[in-house]
Structure 1
Amino acid sequence: MASIPLTLAALSTSAVPGLVVFGVREHESDDGFLSAVIVTEDDDLLVRVPRTQQAEVQQSAELLGLAALTEGPRSRLPFTAPTALGMTRAGDTRAVVTTFLDGARFAATDLTDDAILLQPLAEAIAAIHDLPLTVAQHGGLPVRSAQDLRVLATRLVDRADATRLLPETVRRRWTHVLETPDLWDFAPTMVHGSLDAESIRVEDGSITAVLGWSECGIGDPASDLAWLLAAGTEVLDGVIARYARARNSESLSHLRARAALYHELEVARWLLHGTETHDQAVIDDAVAMLDRMVGTGGALGSAFTEAVAAAPLSSEEVIALLERTPQIDDALSDTAAFEALDEDRMFGVDTDFIEPLHEDGEDAAANGSDGEDADAEHLTEQLTEPLSDEDLPGRPRP
């Protein structure tokens, strides 16, 4: 293990001509990368080598995102983003050297509704969303319309439903949100795309750096807010209220509803990851999380109800939102909830009630990799061709 940082230090001198290394130390990273911190006379640098094909694809997308953040856009951000300095071949892959941005870390669950960090979080997210759309358009980043994003979310629900492990109660809730046109009438903005607590560095109550720009592009601003629900609805509401003060945005209730949907859809992604990798532990974990959603609307149910009934909030309502604590009423007892869950499971097992997915090609679950390839090609098209309402799946349900 001691030789790995030294090897990475040698690769960094090849990636950045003229680089003089004064020292090297190990760096904690995810399992997809080998990484080390390079000490130079002026600053510390980070060198990373992907260990898997998925990590290599992620690194390529991140390099594209960082390249699109030229000097102009960076000057508009109240934090620092990494800068790519060079790369070199490393066996069958490559080593990439970037600036190393360090700072204190926090978990989303550490946040409270009166945390000092809520204000800088709102300002940082608003600053990303206020970047010109030309950053993505000229930088070759994904450009998605509101309809594109709606279709992609619908397909994700369809794929999760095809596993027959998605409770009907949860599926109906997600579908109801997706089939409510007003919620999807919004102007896409520049988004980070994979924002969460792990990608943020802080110091003295301020956000100093934001990492991980592999999914940067034009998308739904609600996607950058969804991770805050891990800390509770009060934290999300607090950040959104402050976010609204920082930029002119759409109806806050619609923004909250989509953020809640994206938060819940992460469980669908986790379920699909488990089924695609045949990891029963992951499948069981995802199913347990889905089971807990049965019988309660959760954050999504509360947000959706208010979004449908509410008009855009006034400035006075935004101020009131800062002090508001949403209440979630569980309409079912524990016994009734699990009885409903059993009925959902039985419904899923009876194939007479399961309709085929409306996608190009056959269902990936029935046709293996051919279906996955067809799905991947179709998703690629979504990045460049906005879709109309006619493209939205509209399946009748029994």
Structure 2
Amino acid sequence: MASIPFTLAALSTSAVPGLVVFGAREHESDDSFVSAIVVTEDAELLVRVPRTQQAEVQQSAELLGLAALTDGPRSRLPFTVPTALGMTRAGDTRAVVTTHLDGARFEADALTDDAILLQPLAEAIAAIHELPITVAQHGGLPVRSAQDLRVLATRLVDRADATRLLPETVRRRWTHVLETADLWDFTPTVVHGSLDAEHIRVDEATVSAILGWSECSVGDPAADLAWLLAGGPEVLDGVIARYARARNSESLSHLRARAALYHELEVARWLLHGTETHDQAVIDDAVTMLDRMVGTGGALGAAFTAAVAAAPLSSDEVVALLSQTPDIDDAQSDTAAFEALDEDRMFGVDTDFIEPLTEREGDSDGDSDAEATGVIEDVDSAGDGEQLTEPISDDELPGSISR
């Protein structure tokens, strides 16, 4: 184990020509990567080597996301984003070198509705959502319509229902939200896509850096707010109120209802992960969380009631958006390392520094997931990708969810 940082330091000099390394140390990361911090004369760099094919896909996605965030978009963000510096082969895979952005960390469930951090969090999220859509379009990132996102959520519920482990009460609640068309009348924005406390670094009372851009795309802004429910409904309301002052957003009650839905759907993903990997402990954990949602209505119940009953609220009214709802244990922070990479990501676009991996045996079905999303990427011979969205038929709309 002691030799790993030095091995990765040697790889970093191959990935970044002219790099002079003064030292290296171990870096705590998830089990999907081998990583180390490399010390240079004036900076610290992060070197990561994926352990699995899934981790390679995630790393490719993150490189695409970072490449799309060129100097222009970065200048509009009130925080720092990692920069990819180079990559090199490492056995059957590759080592990628990026700038290392460190800072204080926090737990989402430790946030309170009067925390000073709520304001910088709201400003940071709003800044991401204010980026031009062309950032994603020119970067070859997924661009999805509100209808696309509704259908993807519907498919996730269908898959969870097919396990026969989804309580009927929970299924009906999710279906009801998906069938309420008004909730899905929104304008997609650039989103981080996998935002949570794990990816955020803070310095005193500011957000200093945001990591983990593998899910960056044009999507639902509510998805970047869902993780805040780990701190309770009041924390989400507090951030949404401040978020609304930072950007001219849609109906706040609708935004909150979809955020609550995405928060609950994380449990569906956890259930599917357990069934797909035949991990009974994960399955039992997910079933326990789903059972808790049956009696309480979960975070979604009050949010949906408020969204369908009330007119769009002003930013000053949003703090009183919901009545108190019972807390549910959230496994999002505990299970984030096990989330399957979004099955709808596509990685056909070449960049200047992303080196394509050699196709391995057994990966012949690697394109099936991308096709399932209805998002098709057409890459011409020059390597420029134009991303199209395949029309979605009426049969795939939430009203046709199988019972």
CA gap of 1:60–1:375, structure 2 versus 1, over 3 A, is closer
CA gap of 1:125–1:385, structure 2 versus 1, over 3 A, is same
How far residue 167 of structure 1 moved from its aligned partner, in angstroms, is 0.3
2:316 corresponds to which letter in structure 1?
I
2:90 corresponds to which letter in structure 1?
A
1:381 aligned onto 2:375: yes
Q: Counterparts in 2 of 1:47-58, with a 5 A limit?
A: 47-58=47-58
In 2: Cα distance, 1:295 partner to 1:371 partner: 41
Residue 397 of structure 2 is matched in structure 1 by: 392
In 2: Cα distance, 1:286 partner to 1:235 partner: 24
* Conservation of the 8 A alpha-carbon contact between 1:62 and 1:214: yes
1:138 aligned onto 2:122: no
* Correspondent of 1:319 among 316, 320, 332: 316
Q: How many residues align?
A: 357
Q: Counterparts in 2 of 1:221-236, with a 5 A limit?
A: 221-236=221-236
TM-score (normalised: structure 2): 0.85
How far residue 381 of structure 1 moved from its aligned partner, in angstroms, is 3.5
* Conservation of the 8 A alpha-carbon contact between 2:150 and 2:398: no
In 2: Cα distance, 1:96 partner to 1:147 partner: 36
How far residue 102 of structure 1 moved from its aligned partner, in angstroms, is 0.3
In 1: Cα distance, 2:393 partner to 2:129 partner: 24
1:211 aligned onto 2:197: no
How far residue 385 of structure 1 moved from its aligned partner, in angstroms, is 2.0
How far residue 379 of structure 1 moved from its aligned partner, in angstroms, is 2.1
1:170-209: CA deviations, max 9, x gaps? 0000000000000000000000000000000001111000
In 2: Cα distance, 1:396 partner to 1:85 partner: 46
* Conservation of the 8 A alpha-carbon contact between 1:145 and 1:386: no
Q: Counterparts in 2 of 1:138-287, with a 5 A limit?
A: 138-287=138-287
Residue 83 of structure 1 is matched in structure 2 by: 83
CA gap of 1:144–1:116, structure 2 versus 1, over 3 A, is same
CA gap of 1:15–1:391, structure 2 versus 1, over 3 A, is same
How far residue 378 of structure 1 moved from its aligned partner, in angstroms, is 1.9
SS of 1:142 mapped into structure 2? coil
* Conservation of the 8 A alpha-carbon contact between 2:252 and 2:318: no
Identical columns (%): 82
1:2 corresponds to which letter in structure 2?
A
* Conservation of the 8 A alpha-carbon contact between 1:147 and 1:388: no
Query: Highest CA radius of gyration, 1 or 2?
Result: 1
Cα-Cα RMSD = 2.0
CA gap of 1:40–1:186, structure 2 versus 1, over 3 A, is same
* Conservation of the 8 A alpha-carbon contact between 1:104 and 1:203: yes
Residue 362 of structure 1 is matched in structure 2 by: none
How far residue 228 of structure 1 moved from its aligned partner, in angstroms, is 0.3
* Conservation of the 8 A alpha-carbon contact between 2:179 and 2:398: no
SS of 1:201 mapped into structure 2? strand
In 1: Cα distance, 2:95 partner to 2:18 partner: 16
2:34 corresponds to which letter in structure 1?
L
Residue 328 of structure 1 is matched in structure 2 by: 325
SS of 1:195 mapped into structure 2? coil
1:100-158: CA deviations, max 9, x gaps? 00000011011000000000000000000000000000000000000000000000000
In 2: Cα distance, 1:220 partner to 1:396 partner: 21
How far residue 320 of structure 1 moved from its aligned partner, in angstroms, is 3.9
- Structure 2: gaps spanning 5 or more residues: 328-362, 377-387
* Conservation of the 8 A alpha-carbon contact between 1:121 and 1:239: yes
**Greater percentage in helix:** 1
* Conservation of the 8 A alpha-carbon contact between 1:8 and 1:35: yes
* Conservation of the 8 A alpha-carbon contact between 2:26 and 2:36: yes
1:61 aligned onto 2:100: no
Residue 120 of structure 2 is matched in structure 1 by: 120
Residue 336 of structure 2 is matched in structure 1 by: none
CA gap of 1:46–1:380, structure 2 versus 1, over 3 A, is farther
SS of 2:18 mapped into structure 1? coil
How far residue 325 of structure 1 moved from its aligned partner, in angstroms, is 6.6
In 2: Cα distance, 1:24 partner to 1:49 partner: 15
Residue 101 of structure 2 is matched in structure 1 by: 101
In 1: Cα distance, 2:367 partner to 2:9 partner: 38
1:387 corresponds to which letter in structure 2?
I
Residue 44 of structure 2 is matched in structure 1 by: 44
In 2: Cα distance, 1:141 partner to 1:202 partner: 27
How far residue 386 of structure 1 moved from its aligned partner, in angstroms, is 4.4
SS of 1:128 mapped into structure 2? helix
CA gap of 1:70–1:372, structure 2 versus 1, over 3 A, is closer
SS of 1:37 mapped into structure 2? strand
1:220 corresponds to which letter in structure 2?
D
2:373 corresponds to which letter in structure 1?
L
1:68-93: CA deviations, max 9, x gaps? 00000000000000000000000000
- Structure 1: gaps spanning 5 or more residues: 331-368
1:221-279: CA deviations, max 9, x gaps? 00000000011000000000000000000000000000000000000000000000000
How far residue 312 of structure 1 moved from its aligned partner, in angstroms, is 1.2
Residue 296 of structure 2 is matched in structure 1 by: 296
Residue 345 of structure 1 is matched in structure 2 by: none
How far residue 397 of structure 1 moved from its aligned partner, in angstroms, is 7.2
